[in-house]
Amino acid sequence: AQKVTQAQTEISVVEKEDVTLDCVYETRDTTYYLFWYKQPPSGELVFLIRRNSFDEQNEISGRYSWNFQKSTSSFNFTITASQVVDSAVYFCALLPGEYGNKLVFGAGTILRVKS
């Protein structure tokens, strides 16, 4: 079964705090892709990152960083020095590795950054 679990329903932090959003996935496929999307209050989903299952290197993009660990089936997302504009719903998603498969979304984590 393909599944994505985002156990944190809602997180509230104060501006400039670091925050980590957890994502745990389940799949039997050896090839798969993991994504993070941001959904601000305006509604559109913004693509943040894609990672394939063979690339376990951590990635940093500005204040964003991702930690991919196959051993624990986790793909966690950290925002450093959070800002109010980071307030949004964040979705982790899994694309199993065969053509025709579809993106499986987690339930999402609501992040509230207070000034």
Partner 1 sequence: GAVVSQHPSRVICKSGTSVKIECRSLDFQATTMFWYRQFPKQSLMLMATSNEGSKATYEQGVEKDKFLINHASLTLSTLTVTSAHPEDSSFYICSALEGAWDSPLHFGNGTRLTVT
H helices, E strands: number in the chain = 0, 12
Which C-beta is closer to partner 1: that of 4 or that of 19?
4
Residue 100 binds partner 1, judged by CB under 8 A: yes
Residue 64 binds partner 1, judged by CB under 8 A: no
Type of residue numbered 75: F
Give 3-state DSSP helix, strand, coil % of the chain, rounded to 5.
5, 55, 40
Total site size for partner 1, rule CB under 8 A: 24
Q: Which stretch binds partner 1 (CB under 8 A): 12-20, 54-62, 65-73, 93-101?
A: 93-101
Which burial class, exposed, middle or buried, applies to 6 when counting CB atoms under 10 A from its CB (0-12, 13-18, 19+)? buried
Residue 53 binds partner 1, judged by CB under 8 A: no
Token pair listed for 94: 């899994």
Question: Which residues contact partner 1 (rule: CB under 8 A)?
Answer: 33, 35, 37, 42-47, 50, 52, 91, 95, 97, 99-103, 105-108, 110
